[in-house]
Structure 1
């Protein structure tokens, strides 16, 4: 069995935070029904290149971006700006346990698809709303974008080199970290609310904001301010509370050094031929090293520049001091540990080929994850879902399609739409 067998999720979200959450639920075995706009679909379908190639080597309409967050779902193309489309969504919501949406605050109310309206047809529905700033407050009506939230939520103030260093200034994280973390919080919240609904018969509304998530996972940086009264600053790859813990130069490039305790520091000093540093009261403890960061780090950098990175990585591994290469993405997938863990997977796609993806990082001993198919093409499952869940036959489906309410995929070629 799968972890979430029997759970149906109506996914009205698009872009990344919502789709990331529902992909996790799909990985766990939930039946995720992705509702998309006929003729267009999720915005990220067009966020390329690169695009997936079909069996003949031609670009499909599925971007790599879209593919990364929508595996294992069923695509149903319904225009819910039309009354008949709204009725279809309400009927589907009555038969689902979860609904996820990321429209602007109040955006679905005019279609009768807000929580209050759908709770009337399904009191046990877990309804998760993801917005930029939350359902209330002075910014509630603002659109929320990952980079903008990284800025206002403080992440850019602690990411990048200091202002007075070469290349200094605010930087965003290299992936949409706020969106992704919000998606993970959403998945966790949904699972908790499902547990409550199973016990009480009552669903609830989850109000989840990108800004709230970003502030929450400032973690030790927020605590440094709240507890210590010190405003954190950008320190490049360095750690605010641990030294030495940063990218270091070697004779032929860079590597990451992550000394986590005093014993590791002493072993580092032995490897670089400077054992006296570990006995120096300025550097003997982590607190002292943090206080004397400006003197210690240049000493270490000067010594480490004398040998290639491979030399230091091998020597440090022998004595148990954490250090790693700074890999490019291609090198990540060539790494022996990444390969041993099977992080790259291949899933079948409706175009006739397969899609290379990264597996869910979770491994369950009793219920291993089964992924099924890659992300669907637009409207791939419209006919299947409407017949299965709402008993809509071919004649009714044809009428809905003729009226522009739905979009289906030709059964003989799932890559072509009607």
Structure 2
């Protein structure tokens, strides 16, 4: 039986895009069914969440279903010592009851290069969206899986999602692109998002909620969301996909959070300001307790209410216009770099984004700083300039246009000229700048 429209993520996102309503989604996942249901209920009622999460545990992500089965046998219906919801091991009827009980659209959040069985269970249970990352989950979650394996596994999920759509039950995808918990270039993030959308669209998927992550510099964060949206729509249209629904997500900082809860509230609220000035359609939020351990549902709900208040305050106000010289400059820079990377990848794959991505990662045309996967060359280095914007320190083998290279190099020269730190020390300290504050010390 198909879920009603108000419990389908893709339809909720599409309607919000039409109406201008901004959606909120938290992060959460618990092992026990009652524990997870209770948490989602708190996030729905006290957090005013529009979309509810179901984060999958590490054992399930790594296909260790027998180990989960042993835990279930030992703990019964009580809380499980897992860092997420083991959707494969819980009976399908139980998860269907959970979906019906919370009565909100649910997105499966899964960090895996092989999500096939989890996706089957989720879609059959009425969970109507999945975080999708054949490239993202490869470079950040796996050291040994090949690009071809990850793309093939995710291709099955995309085909399954397309089948559900043909039955009248559209499935949403929340597309990660390429990014991690360090100062990360928007052009690389966006290039990965474009390629993942193209890989999924070739299998028939049409509903994409695309990441645009907070990096801290307001002008750059505003420009990045718009540049990534425009690029995704451009390349989908170029591929002949004219019926896609693309919405933009501003995610809160994915790295280390301040241990001081008051400062964490400031960071989350700042994310909301940057997203509203960018024209974000949705916020996906961490909790203010991220810096001190595993967040409880009440803290997650409080974090959502903080964002909701900012959204309400800024809702009637216009976005930060592109006439702002700094925003326009960043938009042009991100767009030029993003297009250069995607075009090079598609050329390597002779139009096939999956094949091109495999070749590009091998050659360094796609690359990620601090990647977990051996697939990446890891030659790219990034840091912040004197205004806190993310810049390339080393371009590796990325096909970045010459004028963009000069811009980055000049910006970093100005930063380095005012500090006694080495390049290495700057790169390392910038990784923690958002949690420590400020982005760049006034006098280094």
TM-score calculated relative to the size of structure 2 = 0.24
Greater helix proportion? 2
Which one has the largest radius of gyration?
Answer: 1
**Larger RCO (CA within 8 A; separation ≥ 6):** 1
